[in-house]
């Protein structure tokens, strides 16, 4: 009996040591989102909840963000290893901080098309970009749509626009009140926020940037130079696990929002499911994404965006498209096949 207990103790010790060894082999990754725990956060929270990162020997911590600019800065500072941020914000950081020792790099495209748009109420009489001439627009100063508006304006011959700045929670309120004629923002954010303020969906006019001559990429997964240099295998493992989770999210958005609800219990699951579906339809499963391939970028289009961002953002130096993107960590073609077949 004693012998059996002794052998059992040895087995338990061995199992504990093995578990400890396995944990020791897991690579910790601190990941910063671009925004709060809303529907689109499921893109990352679902692979985490399903254990895909863990299976890849990664110990991933996912934190909410407060804007792409902040995410880029935090990854650059070393506070985070990887993040999710608007490519234009990343380009701006590179061009305005040419001597910064740690400039993050985009390693996978997620929003192949920018989700930015101009939104107005039908009663304003705004139906097309031309109707924005001389109008009063509003958005937070750091809003991606506002920053890129000069590109939208140039493509559509818009002039004389007056801007009003406000904190993000006031943007849709001021439009609903009639304080401004139109706003810029991510469509899947502002349309639903307007509805929450009592505006009917049929009373909202949406002018998506991609539909009116603006070919900007949206959000990408970014990684720190330190991570790229010291643990490239972990970046590749992260992207493979992420792509696996993307299939699940696109296949069942409502279930994926359950993983967001687990992180933030006060969210409205029905509303966030709509937001996630809007993000998928407008920015992820777009015609451009299907043409270029999920996760990837088109060289000439990336170069055009670099030039446009340099001009629109009035950067200190010109954006170099060759240094903001590194596609060498992308999963295989089969692993990137996450978009539904048409």
Q: What is the pLDDT of residues 244-278, one digit of tens each?
A: 999 999 999 999 999 999 999 999 999 999 999 99
Residue 24, pLDDT score? 57
pLDDT at residue 5 above 80?
no
Residue 184 CA to residue 132 CA, distance in Å, equals 12
Q: What is the band of 16 on the pLDDT scale with cuts at 50, 70, 90?
A: very low
pLDDT at residue 18 above 90?
no
pLDDT at residue 3 above 90?
no
CA-to-CA separations, 211 to 28, 159, 165, 311, in angstroms, rounded: 40, 19, 25, 21
Residue 341, pLDDT score? 78
User: Mean pLDDT in the chain?
Assistant: 93
pLDDT at residue 4 above 60?
no
Q: pLDDT per residue over 166-211, tens digit each?
A: 999 999 999 999 999 999 999 999 999 999 999 999 999 999 999 9
Residue 22, pLDDT score? 44
Higher pLDDT, 326 or 8: 326
Q: What DSSP string describes 321-336? A: HHHHB-GGG---TTTT
87-96 vs 68-77: helix crossing angle, rounded to 10: 50
SS3 content of the chain, % helix, strand, coil (to 5): 55, 15, 30
Q: Which range, of 19-28, 113-122, 133-142, 195-204, averages the lowest pLDDT? A: 19-28
- 99: burial class by Cβ within 10 Å (0-12, 13-18, 19+)? exposed
pLDDT at residue 17 above 80?
no
SS3 label, residue 160: coil
CA-to-CA separations, 42 to 29, 37, 89, 251, in angstroms, rounded: 18, 8, 22, 12
**Mean pLDDT computed over 49-59:** 98
**Mean pLDDT computed over 139-144:** 92
Residue 236 CA to residue 328 CA, distance in Å, equals 9
Q: Which range, of 15-24, 34-43, 145-154, 333-342, averages the lowest pLDDT? A: 15-24
pLDDT at residue 14 above 50?
no
State percent of the chain over pLDDT 90.
Answer: 91
Three-class SS of 171-213: HHHHHHHCCCCEEEEEHHHHHHHHHHCCCCHHHEEEEEHHHHC
């Amino acid at each position: 009996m004693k012998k059996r207990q002794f052998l059992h103790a040895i087995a338990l010790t061995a199992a504990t040591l093995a578990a400890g060894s396995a944990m020791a082999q897991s690579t910790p990754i601190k990941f910063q989102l671009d925004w709060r725990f809303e529907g689109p956060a499921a893109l990352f929270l679902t692979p985490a909840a399903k254990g895909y990162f863990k299976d890849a020997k990664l110990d991933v911590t996912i934190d909410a963000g407060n804007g792409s600019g902040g995410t880029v800065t935090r990854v650059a500072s070393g506070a985070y290893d990887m993040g999710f941020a608007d490519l234009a914000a990343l380009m701006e950081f590179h061009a305005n901080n040419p001597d910064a020792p740690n400039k993050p790099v985009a390693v996978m495209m997620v929003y192949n098309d920018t989700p930015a748009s101009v939104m107005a109420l039908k009663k304003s009489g705004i139906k097309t970009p031309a109707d924005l001439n001389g109008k009063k627009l509003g958005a937070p100063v750091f809003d991606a749509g506002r920053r890129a508006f000069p590109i939208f304006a140039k493509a559509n011959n818009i002039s004389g626009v007056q801007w009003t700045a406000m904190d993000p929670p006031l943007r849709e309120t001021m439009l609903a009140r009639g304080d401004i004629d139109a706003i810029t923002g991510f469509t899947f954010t502002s349309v639903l926020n307007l509805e929450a303020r009592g505006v009917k969906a049929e009373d909202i006019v949406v002018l998506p940037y991609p539909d009116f001559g603006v070919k900007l990429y949206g959000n990408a997964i970014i990684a720190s130079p330190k991570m790229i240099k010291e643990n490239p295998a972990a970046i590749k493992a992260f992207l493979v696990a992420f792509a696996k989770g993307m299939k699940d999210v696109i296949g069942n958005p409502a279930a994926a929002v359950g993983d967001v609800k687990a992180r933030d219990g006060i969210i409205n699951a029905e509303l966030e499911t709509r937001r996630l579906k809007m993000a998928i339809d407008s920015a992820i499963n777009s015609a451009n994404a299907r043409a270029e391939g999920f996760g990837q970028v088109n060289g000439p289009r990336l170069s055009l965006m670099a030039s446009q961002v340099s001009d629109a953002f009035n950067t200190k130096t010109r954006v170099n498209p060759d240094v903001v993107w590194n596609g060498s960590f992308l999963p295989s073609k089969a692993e990137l096949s996450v978009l539904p077949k048409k």
